[in-house]
Structure 1
């Protein structure tokens, strides 16, 4: 697999949870995180603002997972 640019991956994850993982090649986990982020974002607006904490946790996990995945893909 071709090396991936860490900056691009992190910026994609900042924009939306899961996009960086998809870029890095982990489609399954990236799509799961993106869908979870959408679901909890909708619940955040429709049900309770406290669910925004879960959205934030998903986002932080996505950043961490993207960092680890890009390092693994690049063999670092």
Structure 2
């Protein structure tokens, strides 16, 4: 499997929650994270501010998972 660039993966995941995971190779997990991020953001905008806080925590977690995925792909 080809090496993945950590910076590119993290920037993609920073802008679009979870898509850095898809870039790293786990497309299914990346799209699930992306969908959950969208749902949490919409709930935060329209339902309650608590969902915005949960969304930020989830976004940070997605960045961490992206980091782990790229390390796993690159064999580090």
TM over 0.5: yes
Distance in 1 separating the partners of 2:2 and 2:10: 17
What RMSD, in angstroms, separates the aligned Cα atoms of the two structures? 0.7
Distance in 1 separating the partners of 2:33 and 2:58: 7
Between Structure 1 and Structure 2, how many residues are aligned?
76
Unaligned ranges ≥5, structure 2: none
Q: Give 1:28 shift.
A: 1.3
Q: Which runs of 4+ in 1 moved over 4 A?
A: none
Unaligned ranges ≥5, structure 1: none
TM-score w.r.t. structure 2 length? 0.95
Instruction: Give 1:37-56 correspondences, 5 Å limit.
Output: 37-56=37-56
